[in-house]
Structure 1
Amino acid sequence: MRKIWVVLLIVVLAGRLCKGQDYTLNTQYILNPMSINPAYAGGNNALNLSLYYGKKWIGVEGSPQSTAFSVDAPFLHQKLGLGLMLVSDDYGVTNEKHLRTNYAFRILIPNGVLAFGLGVDVKMTKTSFQDLIALDQDDDIFLLDSKNYIVPNFSFGIHYTIKNYFIGLSIPQMLSYTFDMAKDEYLAENDFSKYSYLLNTGYKIGLNKRIKLYPSLLLQYTSMESPEKFQYDFNTLVSYDDRFWLGGSFRNERSATAILQVSATSQFSVGYGFNFEISKLNRHSNGSHEIMLRYLFKYKVDAPTPLIF
């Protein structure tokens, strides 16, 4: 019985996401800001490759997991940034594959950059109803799998950095969807009342020649009716010689994450995050794991940080 309710809970959450009511966040945005804001494309001023894997709520059957590959680089003397992300998400009996392209127009200013970004996301989603544990074995919906649905979306972002400070604002999903059972299709609408807004800001503090402190804040606001209209992440990272990074993240009295990044060279780095729930979900979950590999095609890096300054 417990497995049945877990599966049903995940299916309900998936339905909420399809309607655009919430925008889920992984800790990967700390290591790869382009995942939440298209204006970050090209922000490393070099060709940047990253590979990400995350598994939530270890021990809960059907819990979400995500794999992502991203690449971005500047063009036209760093005045244009282009990015590409390939994402595969699994939760419950649903699989979603994303193809995301990001475009950033970058205005170079003294000691900083002002960037405007636009993202295009094409999602292919499919649900395997046959894998559900049915309460009513005669229910016809469990006899057939759903077909593949193609669902497009758009994102917009602004990012400003000057010296040791940055701030970014983004709308990660500009379209919301409802599923029409009669027509067997998703219906799209652009409704400002269903937008989610993300504000990300941070500062670099040099404690001495070797040790630097990177506090940052992420605020999320949804204009729809929701138990949590505001969500926040408090993040802090400490670096030693721009090689070793240790820090943590705290979210809405629900979860906390320990973050470690090691830069083997100025080009190659490995990041790991372990998330543990503070909420009641902690009774059923053994935590969440996230890992990211990144290679930067740049041989002189002043500070290869998880954040962009």
Structure 2
Amino acid sequence: TDRYDDIKESTVSDRLHYYVIGGYVFNLTDNLKFKPAILGKIVSGAPVTVDFSANFLIQEVVTIGAAYRYEDAVSALAGFQITKSLFAGYSYDYTITDLNKYNDGSHEIIIRFQLLPKPSRIKSPRFF
């Protein structure tokens, strides 16, 4: 979709975004899970970006992890499963490009609330 802005005399185009994601949950011990993942983002006219992440889930309550966006940024994450339906966490993202001269990184607060209970009869590590 093209849009025209009379004030700036410019045209803006909407572009389709494509995402490819994959990951797996490894049960290292009864109380420790390892969750590596990869995310690819494709937008017409922009470079492809790829994120690699690795999270650890400790006793189904504490999550800690790190991520790397290819040639762009690194990030760290920590969070807690407060109740079965409520997760809270914090992450910090730091760019490793020349933009870090102008940006000290981004702080993110994470709140995830699950409205519907997970079905207990289906066990799938697909959504994590």
Which bracket does the TM-score occupy, shorter chain normalised?
A: 0.7 to 0.9
Which residue matches 2:2? 177
Which has a greater percent of strand?
Answer: 2
Task: Output the CA distance in 2 between the equivalents of 1:288 and 1:221.
Answer: 22
Task: Output the CA distance in 1 between the equivalents of 2:13 and 2:74.
Answer: 35
Shift in CA distance, 300/198, structure 1 to aligned 2, threshold 3 Å: closer
Q: Does 1:272 align with 2:90?
A: yes
Shift in CA distance, 240/284, structure 1 to aligned 2, threshold 3 Å: same
Task: Output the CA distance in 2 between the equivalents of 1:249 and 1:292.
Answer: 16
Task: Output the CA distance in 1 between the equivalents of 2:22 and 2:2.
Answer: 30
Which has a greater percent of helix?
Answer: 1
Cα deviations by residue, 1:237-279 (Å, 9 ceiling, x for unpaired): 1011110000011112111110111112222210211011111
Which residue matches 1:215? 36
Point out where structure 1 has 5 or more consecutive residues left out of the alignment. Answer: 1-175, 302-306
CA contact (8 A) 1:266 1:300 kept: no
Moved over 4 A (4+): 186-189
Shift in CA distance, 266/300, structure 1 to aligned 2, threshold 3 Å: farther
Which residue matches 1:240? 58
Cα deviations by residue, 1:30-67 (Å, 9 ceiling, x for unpaired): xxxxxxxxxxxxxxxxxxxxxxxxxxxxxxxxxxxxxx
CA contact (8 A) 1:273 1:289 kept: yes
Point out where structure 2 has 5 or more consecutive residues left out of the alignment. Answer: 121-125
Task: Output the CA distance in 2 between the equivalents of 1:220 and 1:287.
Answer: 21
Task: Output the CA distance in 2 between the equivalents of 1:290 and 1:177.
Answer: 32
1:199 maps to a residue whose letter is V
Which residue matches 1:85? none
CA positional deviation for 1:181: 2.2
Task: Output the CA distance in 2 between the equivalents of 1:177 and 1:259.
Answer: 38
Cα deviations by residue, 1:190-246 (Å, 9 ceiling, x for unpaired): xxxx4331111111111111100111111012232x3x2x11000111011110000
Which residue matches 2:123? none
CA positional deviation for 1:188: 7.1
Q: Cα RMSD between the aligned structures?
A: 2.7
CA contact (8 A) 1:267 1:299 kept: no
One of 56, 75, 82 as aligned partner of 1:257: 75
Task: Output the CA distance in 2 between the equivalents of 1:232 and 1:218.
Answer: 6
Larger radius of gyration: 1
Q: Does 1:308 align with 2:123?
A: no
Higher RCO structure, 1 or 2 (CA under 8 Å, sep 6+): 1
SS at match of 1:281: helix
Task: Output the CA distance in 2 between the equivalents of 1:177 and 1:252.
Answer: 30
Identity %: 23
